Amino acid sequence: MKVNFNQLDRGYLKFKAEYDRAAIETLESGWYILGSRGEKFEREFSNFLGSKYCIGLNSGLDALILAFRALGIGKGDEVIVPANTYIASVIGVTENDATPVFVEPDEYYNLDTTKIEEKITERTKAILVVHLYGQAADMVNIKATADKYNLYLVEDCAQSHGASFNGKVTGTWGDIGCFSFYPTKNIGAFGDSGAIVTNNSQLYEKIKMLRNYGSKVKYQNEILGVNSRLDEMQAALLSVKLGHYLELRAERESFANEYLNRIKNPFITLPKIREISEHVWHLFVVKVDERDKFQKYLGDNGIATQIHYPIPPHLSEAYGYLDENEGNLPITESYANHIISLPLFDGITKEEVDYIISIVNEFQG
């Protein structure tokens, strides 16, 4: 059997008639940017999260960049960031000329709350928390630290749509929540798109201007802005996907539980779930000492995998100027060398999951 790591057409085919209808209606409307469909999705997504405001954007990266820009964070400022994240999280900081300060992860792959305070200086202006792989970080302690030092709190929720900590949904704990709707996400579009959510009316108005050339009224540019607008087509398709969120989430959770309960291999370390942290299983990440051997073994048996992420941002060429050396962040670097993601996507079948489990259980490290 051959199992792809992801197969996006299956997600489309599950609700093909609804997607097709939404696309045709949008095309026939004759309005493609900043229209009623975008406003509708913004309302729906705000209601879904329980936030006051939502601003649709071109991508999750733009959400991060505009979040820090709206908060006035720039040159000379520092932002606490998780060391074991995708580089986009860090780019959100550095595109505003601020400096990322890396903090190691805990055993749940999220920001280690016991290591944040030691990295805070008089230049620290914000904490960026990333809810990695679909599990909410320890937001009670992170928010307490942010409040103690009067720091802004920004959440990168690109992988945690609908996840919660202690009953409160990710994206609503901080000043700003940033979301990606890249096609592989739990709520994925059919191209690049993203959003910011906030409960702060001033930030809402500022980000709306920032995304549209710095203007509220056409040709009246009040601040320096960019072009980052969620288009009507993606908004219409996202409304369809959001309408099926609970069904799709239940399917992912069901197959994730199959992995958790039936993978019985001493060479494989399964992901841990914090008691009051809700996991929505954007990715199913395991840890293997002999990862390269394991990945080749799965590939030889027709199972595609991915590594999230093989090179931590602090060791990337792009951030060589930060003078971070190998060994500075040993937990992050160990994760980067030993984690691997198994297939888990909208439309994966029970037969495929059964096959993956059987092959994984036969692996000899």
CATH number at residue 330: 3.90.1150.10
pLDDT number for residue 48 = 98
pLDDT number for residue 358 = 98
Q: Do residues 201 and 61 both lie within one domain?
A: yes
Total number of domains in the chain: 2
Q: Do residues 144 and 291 both lie within one domain?
A: no
- For the chain, residues with pLDDT lower than 70 are none
Domain end marker among 224, 243, 262:
243
Q: Do residues 188 and 313 both lie within one domain?
A: no
Q: What is the dihedral of CA 283, 287, 290, 295, to 10 degrees?
A: -10
Query: Does residue 268 form part of some domain?
Result: yes
Domain end marker among 243, 263, 281:
243
Q: Do residues 238 and 274 both lie within one domain?
A: no
pLDDT number for residue 152 = 98
Q: Do residues 13 and 88 both lie within one domain?
A: yes
pLDDT number for residue 365 = 84
Query: Does residue 99 form part of some domain?
Result: yes
Q: Do residues 286 and 319 both lie within one domain?
A: yes
Q: Do residues 59 and 77 both lie within one domain?
A: yes
Q: Do residues 226 and 263 both lie within one domain?
A: no
Query: Does residue 2 form part of some domain?
Result: no
pLDDT number for residue 11 = 97
pLDDT number for residue 263 = 98
Query: Does residue 67 form part of some domain?
Result: yes
Domain end marker among 218, 243, 268:
243
Say if residues 181 and 8 touch (Cβ distance below 8 Å): no
Query: Does residue 285 form part of some domain?
Result: yes
Q: Which strands form 152-156's sheet, in the order they lie side by side? A: 53-57, 194-198, 176-180, 152-156, 124-130, 78-82, 99-103
CATH number at residue 175: 3.40.640.10
Q: Do residues 96 and 203 both lie within one domain?
A: yes
- Dist CA 244 CA 309 (whole Å): 29
Residue 216 φ then ψ, to 5°: -95, -40
- Could you tell me where the DSSP H helices lie in 106-200? 139-148
- Specify the amino acid at residue 129: V
Q: Do residues 123 and 199 both lie within one domain?
A: yes
In which domain, by residue range, is 14 found? 8-103+111-243
Q: Do residues 303 and 336 both lie within one domain?
A: yes
Q: Do residues 149 and 260 both lie within one domain?
A: no
Helix (H, G, I), strand (E, B) or coil at 81: strand
Reported as a single tens digit per residue, the pLDDT across 32-47 is 999 999 999 999 999 9
Radius of gyration of the chain (CA): 21
Query: Does residue 1 form part of some domain?
Result: no
Which is it for strands 168-169 and 176-180: parallel, antiparallel or unpaired?
A: unpaired
